[in-house]
């Protein structure tokens, strides 16, 4: 069986942007409501959730949420432009997939604007055949809707797709999706996302000759 599509999460897989979101969110919170969240709370509770969901959990009212959301997106763009860099290992894997005629998809809880900026700033944008953001589905990760939508739009059998995820919420979405659990690659962070590690995952889990 030949793998026909790879579905990448964004934060923690294609870019290590957890700190970017943490810093941007706290900057917005301090301006709007005068408090911030700890790094531990962000990692354990908020990481991987859409900003609007984070603000709802934090108890902001509708007007505060609107202000904080807008500021957070603006600050995130600033942080991306300041800190984004090319990961050569990621590019090597994307080049390999493209040369193998394997569809390349990004499936993320980020909004389209920041998703596009992250991928462009890190020179990955042009490799993608499809991008699914939190604006494309009603229920975001940890719900599986985004992955199921991607597979549906690709019109590829789920067992011929691989999902690459890092966060618990992302893994829950992936494991709840139509893609078999054996096809879900749980990485620590973007430094794990290399061609050698991808081939190893394929050999150990998909029973093919490296895709």
Q: Average pLDDT, stretch 78-83?
A: 85
CA-CA distance, 150 to 183, in Å (whole number)? 15
What band does 49 get if pLDDT is binned at 50, 70 and 90? Answer: confident
Higher pLDDT among residues 194 and 1, named by residue: 194
pLDDT at 65 over 90: yes
Residues 6+ apart with CB under 8 A from 64: 32, 33, 55
Residue 211 pLDDT exceeds 60: no
Q: Which of 33, 117, 44 is closest to 74 using CA atoms?
A: 117
Distance between the two ends of the chain, CA-based, in angstroms?
Answer: 8
Residues in Cβ contact with 58 at an 8 Å cutoff, skipping those fewer than 6 apart: 29, 37
pLDDT at 132: 98
Give the pLDDT confidence of 86-139 residue by residue, as tens digits: 889 999 999 999 999 999 999 999 989 989 999 999 999 999 999 999 999 999
Is the confidence at residue 208, as pLDDT, over 70? no
Task: Please answer whether residues 133 and 108 qualify as being in contact, where contact means their C-beta atoms are separated by less than 8 angstroms.
Answer: yes
Residue 64 above 90 pLDDT?
A: yes
Residue the block writes with tokens 């020179």? 123
Q: What is the pLDDT of residue 209?
A: 43
Would you state the pLDDT for residue 73?
86
- Whether the CB-CB separation of 30 and 186 falls below 8 Å is answered with no
- Among 190, 192, 191, 193, which residue's Cα sits nearest to residue 12? 190
- Using the predicted structure, report yes or no on whether residue 146 has a pLDDT greater than 70: yes
- Predicted pLDDT at 207: 63
pTM reported for the whole predicted model? 0.82
Mean pLDDT over each residue of the chain, to the nearest integer: 92
Residue with token string 């793998």: 3
Segment 63-85 shows an average pLDDT of: 89
SS3 state of residue 35 = coil
Tokens 């603000």 correspond to 55
Q: How remote is the C-alpha of 122 from its chain's centroid? A: 14
pLDDT for residue 8 is more than 90: yes
Exposure b/e, 95-116, CB count within 10 A at least 16 = b: eebeeeebbbbbbbbbbeebbb
Mean pLDDT value of segment 9-29: 88
């Amino acid at each position: 069986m030949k793998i026909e599509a790879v579905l990448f999460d964004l934060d923690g897989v294609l870019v290590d942007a957890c700190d970017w979101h943490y810093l941007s969110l706290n900057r917005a919170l301090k301006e709007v409501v005068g408090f911030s969240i700890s790094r531990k709370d962000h990692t354990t509770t908020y990481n991987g959730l859409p900003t609007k969901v984070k603000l709802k959990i934090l108890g902001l009212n509708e007007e505060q949420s609107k202000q904080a959301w807008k500021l957070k997106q603006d600050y995130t763009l600033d942080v991306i432009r300041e800190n984004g860099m090319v990961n050569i290992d990621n590019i090597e894997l994307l080049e390999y997939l493209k040369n193998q005629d394997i569809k390349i998809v990004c499936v993320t809880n980020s909004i389209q604007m920041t998703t596009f900026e992250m991928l462009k700033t890190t020179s990955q944008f042009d490799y993608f055949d499809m991008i699914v953001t939190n604006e494309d589905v009603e229920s975001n990760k940890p719900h599986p809707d985004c992955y199921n939508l991607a597979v549906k739009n690709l019109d590829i059998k789920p067992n011929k797709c691989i999902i690459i995820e890092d966060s618990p919420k992302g893994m829950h979405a992936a494991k709840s999706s139509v893609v078999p659990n054996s096809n879900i690659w749980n990485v620590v962070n973007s430094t794990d996302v290399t061609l050698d590690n991808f081939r190893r995952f394929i050999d150990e889990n998909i029973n093919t000759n490296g895709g």
